[in-house]
Structure 1
Amino acid sequence: MHIDLSGKTAVVSGSTAGIGLAIATGIAASGADTIVNGRNQRAVDEAVATVRAKASGAKVRGIAADLGTRAGCDAFLKDVPDADILINNLGMYGPSDIFATSDDEWERYFQINVMSGVRLTRAYLKDMMERRWGRVVFVSSESGLNIPSDMLAYGFTKTAQLSIARGIAKFAAASGVTVNSVLPGPTMTDGVREMLRETAQKQSKSIEQAADEFVVSSRGTSIIRRITMPEEVANMVVYICSPQASATTGAALRVDGGIVDTIA
């Protein structure tokens, strides 16, 4: 299958590292004019260079903006007023049980993980529908279904993304615009590498070994029995953004290695 996104403009929020960077690389390699985003200009510049190095001939540029705020979204939209493909990947995570999470922290999770995607989708959706073509993807998580008690605010926002994506898909019915969610499992991002570094050193293991053991111990229902790589998530996202995925919408597509223990 050859995926050709030439002539399309794609925005990937929170794409200077990890899953977002892998998605931006895959989208750019498929021919789309790709916008990389992050809060820090240096990180954005480095990400753009990485995409260009991995995707020969990629049309990519970067915009530094804090999309977890209304002002940041407004500034970003002035630079990129239109898009054919929107990947709502921006997100934060961390330990946060019911006692440890303040009101301000709940609000921070909500603004970054949920409202960034709501604002960008609201800005781009109308023109997509008028053109009769568009792709919107929310990068959620298996934690949106398997709510972790020690990452409660994170799990809540990931569940919210599933509801929002499904509702927008129904709103855009018969328009040629598809709206889907992707649910990664534990994925080998820079943050996960850093989290596991000390454990790996203490046990004289590689970070990769520690990561796979973490998946087995903390996500016992995993079928692949290993951590997911960012490129594996990106492959699913690139496919859903393709013309070939025109009949897939309103879906929650799992790239979790089988962790969510349901058939449907």
Structure 2
Amino acid sequence: MKIELNGKTALITGSTGGIGLAIGRGLAEAGATVILNGRQQDRVDAAVDQLKQDFPQAEVRGVAADLGTAEGCQSVVEREPDVDILVNNVGLFGPHDFFDVPDDKWQQYFDVNVMSGVRLSRAYAPRMEDKGWGRIVFMSSESGINIPAEMIHYGFTKSANLSVSRGLAKRLSGTGVTVNAVLPGPTLSEGVADMLREDQEKSGKSMEEFAAEFVQTARPSSIIQRAATVEEVANMVVYVCSPLSSATTGAALRVDGGVVDTLT
């Protein structure tokens, strides 16, 4: 099985590091033109340079914008009006007690984690429909099903991603445009590593060892009993963005290491 995306243009939001950048790497390796995104121009430029070094044959460019605002989303669409693949990856996360989360933080999480994908999908899906081919992916999370007590404000946005992706898949029925959600579990991204680093350094263990212990404690239902790598998550996304996944739409595709303990 060989994934080829020559002639396709992919926009990955929130892709200057972590899972987003790993997705960009996978899509660039498959031949797609890759558009990276972040809020800060210097980080976007550094990520673009990194991908160009790793894949000299690939066409890679970037656009800096704050996708937590309607204006930021519109600026991306104006800069990059023709996209075949949209990966709605940008997102905020972090543990906070329910009673300590003010209204403005709830709104911020909703704007970044949910409305960025809504706005960009609304802008790009009609163009995909006109072509008769397109891929839209919402990066949800196992936290959208197993709402964490310490991140309720985050979990509800990931549940919303599932609802929007399923409904939009139905709305685009028969058009050749697929819409899916991918649900990572605990993943050793840069953000997670930063969150764990202080305790990890005190432990004297490697980050991989400490992350595995964290998963076993915080997500004991994990079957793999470790954190996934960003590449393992990206592999699923690259597949669902490819022509090979043409019969997969409206799906919630887990890369959660077996954390979610249900059959469906």
Q: State the TM-score bracket (shorter-chain normalisation).
A: over 0.9
Distance of 2:18 and 2:248 partners within structure 1? 25
Residue 206 of structure 2 is matched in structure 1 by 206
Deviation per residue, 1:17-62 (Å, 9 max, x gap): 0000000111111111110000001100111122122334111101
CA contact (8 A) 1:11 1:36 kept: yes
Distance of 1:97 and 1:77 partners within structure 2? 36
CA contact (8 A) 1:92 1:109 kept: yes
Report how far residue 164 of structure 1 moved.
Answer: 0.2
CA contact (8 A) 1:169 1:178 kept: yes
Residue 112 of structure 2 is matched in structure 1 by 112
CA contact (8 A) 1:29 1:56 kept: no
Alignment coverage as a number of residue pairs: 264
**AA aligned opposite 1:16:** T
Distance of 1:123 and 1:52 partners within structure 2? 28
Distance of 1:200 and 1:73 partners within structure 2? 37
Q: Does 1:151 align with 2:151?
A: yes
What secondary structure does 1:179 align onto? Answer: strand
Distance of 1:194 and 1:86 partners within structure 2? 27
TM-score by length of 1: 0.98
Distance of 1:53 and 1:211 partners within structure 2? 30
Distance of 2:222 and 2:51 partners within structure 1? 31
Residue 77 of structure 1 is matched in structure 2 by 77
Report how far residue 177 of structure 1 moved.
Answer: 0.5
Matches within 5 A, 1:243-262: 243-262=243-262
Deviation per residue, 1:150-196 (Å, 9 max, x gap): 10110000000000000000000011000000000111111111111
Gaps of 5+ in 2: none
Residue 221 of structure 1 is matched in structure 2 by 221
- Mean CA deviation greater in 175-184 or 69-78: 69-78
Residue 14 of structure 1 is matched in structure 2 by 14
Distance of 1:239 and 1:50 partners within structure 2? 22
Residue 43 of structure 2 is matched in structure 1 by 43
Distance of 1:187 and 1:83 partners within structure 2? 28
**AA aligned opposite 1:119:** R
Distance of 2:193 and 2:77 partners within structure 1? 33
CA contact (8 A) 1:182 1:255 kept: yes
Distance of 1:123 and 1:195 partners within structure 2? 34
CA contact (8 A) 1:181 1:253 kept: yes
Distance of 1:59 and 1:147 partners within structure 2? 39
Distance of 1:125 and 1:63 partners within structure 2? 19
Deviation per residue, 1:139-160 (Å, 9 max, x gap): 0100000000110110000000
**AA aligned opposite 1:125:** A
CA contact (8 A) 1:97 1:153 kept: no
TM-score by length of 2: 0.98
**Aligned residues: percent identity?**
58
Matches within 5 A, 1:185-196: 185-196=185-196
Report how far residue 263 of structure 1 moved.
Answer: 1.1
RMSD between superposed Cα atoms in Å: 0.8
Report how far residue 89 of structure 1 moved.
Answer: 0.1
**AA aligned opposite 2:235:** N
What secondary structure does 2:170 align onto? Answer: helix
* Runs of at least 4 residues off by over 4 Å: none
Distance of 2:137 and 2:54 partners within structure 1? 23
Distance of 1:108 and 1:40 partners within structure 2? 18
Gaps of 5+ in 1: none
Matches within 5 A, 1:60-209: 60-209=60-209
